[in-house]
């Protein structure tokens, strides 16, 4: 009897189920990921996975963990990154019935950009980083965490800062230029293949300093020149 190759995480995919083509949208805080994803909401063959940030702001309906982390990063960075990893995993695992699945961020940028940045700035200790990393390495061995394409919305940190100020999210008033610059550098090194972290998928880099319409135009141009199947 042939055993069906069921995902050990019982996420609903089997070797007989077609995995959706999964696209993760990455970029600094304020690079316009949410706005970019809104462009595809009307497509019948695509599912947009809502960003988990709302959950980070309301853990158990009571704790704004994102705000707590910005107020006291030494105390709350591990808690936030643990929760980010859980909610991202849930997004990777979320089964969809469409050909395409578009996610805001992924487990990969959480580890390679955010956790790395907190570690380098001594806001996560070495042992905390090792534990997050062991979880991460374990999680990405499963098929549900496979990403096919990463869209990098590249922005100057100053442009990202302007957008963050305009939207005025609770807690983010303490985001500094230094913080944005270091996150930017980590994204840049990763996408340029200059970091020690691997790129888990093909990637496309878009100039996201531009207006949202032009970013969308550039992406559509990229898609036209590449075969993604499904139309």
Site stretch for ligand DCP (CB under 6 A), options 12-20, 23-31, 41-49, 95-103: 23-31
Active site (annotated) includes residue 137: no
Mapped onto helix, strand or coil, the DSSP state of residue 194 is: coil
User: How many Å apart are CA 228 and CA 139, to the nearest integer?
Assistant: 26
Q: Taking the complex as a whole, how short is the minimal distance between the CB of residue 3 and ligand DCP, in angstroms?
A: 36
Asked if 143 interacts with ligand DCP (CB under 6 A), we say no
Asked if 27 interacts with ligand DCP (CB under 6 A), we say yes
Q: Taking the complex as a whole, how short is the minimal distance between the CB of residue 99 and ligand DCP, in angstroms?
A: 24
Q: Which residue bears the tokens 């970019």?
A: 36
Tokens of 131: 């534990």
User: How many Å apart are CA 153 and CA 203, to the nearest integer?
Assistant: 11
User: How many Å apart are CA 78 and CA 135, to the nearest integer?
Assistant: 13
Q: Which CB sits closer to ligand DCP, 47 or 67?
A: 67
Asked if 65 interacts with ligand DCP (CB under 6 A), we say no
Q: Which CB sits closer to ligand DCP, 11 or 80?
A: 80
Asked if 89 interacts with ligand DCP (CB under 6 A), we say no
Mapped onto helix, strand or coil, the DSSP state of residue 151 is: strand
Cα Rg for the chain, rounded, in angstroms?
A: 18
Whether 25 and 131 have beta carbons less than 8 Å apart is answered as no
User: Catalytic pick from 4, 51, 71, 104?
Assistant: 104
Q: Any residues with CB less than 8 A from the CB of 85 and at least 6 apart, and which?
A: 107, 110, 111, 132, 135, 136, 139
Q: Which CB sits closer to ligand DCP, 82 or 142?
A: 82
Count of residues in the chain: 231
Asked if 157 interacts with ligand DCP (CB under 6 A), we say no
- Write each residue from 162 to 191 as x if it is in contact with ligand DCP (CB under 6 A), else as -, in one continuous string: ----------x-------------------
Site stretch for ligand DCP (CB under 6 A), options 6-14, 15-23, 24-32, 144-152: 24-32
Interface with ligand DCP (CB under 6 A), residue from 110, 124, 145, 186: 110
User: How many Å apart are CA 189 and CA 166, to the nearest integer?
Assistant: 28
Whether 183 and 113 have beta carbons less than 8 Å apart is answered as yes
Interface with ligand DCP (CB under 6 A), residue from 23, 24, 29, 78: 29
Binding site for ligand DCP (CB under 6 A): 27, 29-34, 53, 66, 80, 84, 105, 110, 114, 172
Catalytic residues: 104
């Amino acid at each position: 009897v042939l055993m069906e190759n069921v995902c050990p995480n019982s996420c609903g995919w089997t070797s007989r189920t077609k995995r959706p083509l999964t696209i993760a949208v990455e970029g600094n805080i304020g690079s316009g990921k949410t706005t970019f994803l809104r462009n595809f909401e009307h497509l019948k063959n695509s599912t947009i996975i809502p960003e988990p940030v709302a959950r980070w702001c309301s853990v158990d309906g009571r704790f704004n963990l994102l705000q707590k982390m910005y107020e006291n990063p030494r105390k709350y960075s591990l808690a936030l990154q643990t929760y980010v990893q859980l909610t991202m995993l849930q997004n990777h695992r979320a089964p969809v019935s469409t050909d395409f699945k578009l996610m805001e961020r992924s487990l990969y940028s959480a580890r390679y950009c955010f956790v790395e940045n907190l570690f380098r700035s001594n806001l996560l200790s070495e042992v905390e980083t090792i534990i997050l990393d062991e979880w991460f390495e374990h999680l990405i061995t499963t098929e549900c965490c496979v990403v096919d394409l990463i869209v990098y919305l590249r922005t100057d940190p100053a442009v990202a800062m302007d957008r963050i100020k305009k939207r005025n999210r609770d807690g983010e008033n303490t985001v500094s230029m230094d913080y944005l610059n270091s996150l930017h550098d980590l994204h840049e090194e990763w996408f340029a293949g200059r970091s020690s972290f691997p790129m888990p998928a093909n990637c496309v880099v878009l100039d996201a300093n531009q207006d949202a319409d032009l970013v969308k135009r550039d992406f559509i141009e990229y898609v036209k020149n590449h075969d993604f199947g499904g139309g």
